[in-house]
Amino acid sequence: MLKKVDASQLKVGMFIHDLDCGWMEHPFVRNRFLLSSDEEILKIRNARIHGVVIDCGKGLDVDDAPTLAQAEAATEAEVTAIAARPLVLTRVSLGEELARAANIRKQAAGLVRTVMADARLGKAVEIERVGPVVESITESILRNSGALLGLLRIKNKDDYTFLHSVSVCALLVAFCRSRNMDAETIYQAGLGGLLHDTGKALVPDAVLNKQGRLTDEEFEIIKRHPRDGYDILSKTPEIGSIPLDITLHHHERRDGSGYPDRLAEGGISELAQMAAIVDVYDAITSDRCYHKGMSAAEALRKIYEWSKFHFSPTLAQEFMRCVGIYPVGTLVLLESGRLGVVTEPHETSLLTPKVNVFFSTRNQAYIKPQSLDLSKPLGSGGGDKIVRHESPEKWNVNPLRFMHIA
């Protein structure tokens, strides 16, 4: 039986099933192992790991600890309650914005690739080339955020580094907008999001794309990228303080466990804290060379759990309301056995978005695409219910093809 316990409850003889933190955030070679010494327990606590999953069938038990299922169900209920009123702000339809968003996605990813290549050669970043792309991203988010954010949900492992920067920019712009920040602040935050990983240009590809766990030495190399990015961007006279701050501090954590400066809650700016949440969310929902991306719902549960120590709880909850549990572009399984792609969140109920259904899991075949409004009853364009998020790879489908039905 799997149980969720606090690190303070750990004892020698317990079997660690999951350290419940970011893949590169703990000092152990494996995620699963038998605790054999007090030194290992101290190592876990010193790494600022708070929640741990133990396997009681392979080691000692904690009688009063909740099972993993119970802990996840409780958190899921809290997350659903928080995100129950998604922020829906659109000016044009999804179909109208998709083509423009696709071009912006391609242009922005190409720009980040060029910025990285120039950084490797010691060239300064040209803000006059970056600025217009950030403005295009911002304008697309203002017209219909679901179009670009939906397209950015799908990333190839080979271009993850570049599209991750575009995603962080778009998500940070949407987050700032949902908090009613002024246009100039949103633009500067977008610049920071697009350029936040510039320092990774100096990380060897063998380390950046390594499929196995990083060694301590390799992790130290990775941890240099915020400072390296800051140094690279500092050579650009036109760069503002906000992009520099986001680049340098997007890996800082509220409990002081982050890097490069181990800043604690009072020392991290609001925008850097927002960027940290966005950066982690996009990373854990994306397929990487070393792990499979999780669903938006699961990612928000993790963000919520980690906000007790790593992120601002207030900002984490505001971000959850901003993106919702079923963002546009999410593949979902309905009670009818059909697969559908979310095209528009409901104004007040995150569990009843609009979806385009296109595949029957019972017949293992494509069906005529149909648009459903899950907030409406059968006969009025609805009459179905989301069962869970699904992986496109599991069914070998591309949901983005069906985001817009002509």
Q: pLDDT by residue for the chain (406 residues), tens digit each?
A: 998 998 889 999 999 998 877 655 666 667 788 999 899 888 888 877 888 898 999 999 998 889 988 888 888 888 877 776 555 567 888 889 999 999 999 999 999 999 999 999 999 999 999 999 999 999 999 999 999 999 998 787 778 889 999 999 999 999 999 999 999 999 999 999 999 999 999 999 899 888 777 888 988 999 999 999 999 999 998 999 999 999 999 999 999 989 999 999 899 999 999 999 999 999 999 877 667 788 888 899 999 999 989 999 999 999 998 988 889 999 999 999 999 999 988 777 778 899 999 999 999 999 999 999 998 887 666 789 999 989 888 899 999 899 888 6
pLDDT value of residue 370: 94
Q: By CB neighbour count within 10 A (0-12 exposed, 13-18 middle, 19+ buried), where does 85 fall?
A: middle
Whole-prediction pTM: 0.88
DSSP secondary structure letters along 26-89: SS-S-SSEE---HHHHHHHHHTT--EEEEETTTS---TTSPBHHHHHHHHHHHHHHHTSS----
The residue ranges of every structural domain in the chain are 2-65, 94-323, 331-402
Determine contact, residues 184/132, Cβ cutoff 8 Å: no
**Residue in this structure with the two tokens 């109208």, named with its chain if needed:** 96
Distance between CA atoms of residues 16 and 342, nearest Å? 37
pLDDT value of residue 71: 86
Residue among 33, 146, 23, 60 nearest 400 (CA): 146
Q: Is domain 94-323 given the CATH code 1.10.10.60 in the classification?
A: no
pLDDT value of residue 174: 96
pLDDT value of residue 86: 56
pLDDT value of residue 380: 65
Distance between CA atoms of residues 137 and 235, nearest Å? 25
Determine contact, residues 186/176, Cβ cutoff 8 Å: yes
pLDDT value of residue 88: 59
CB atoms < 10 A from the CB of 13, how many?
A: 11
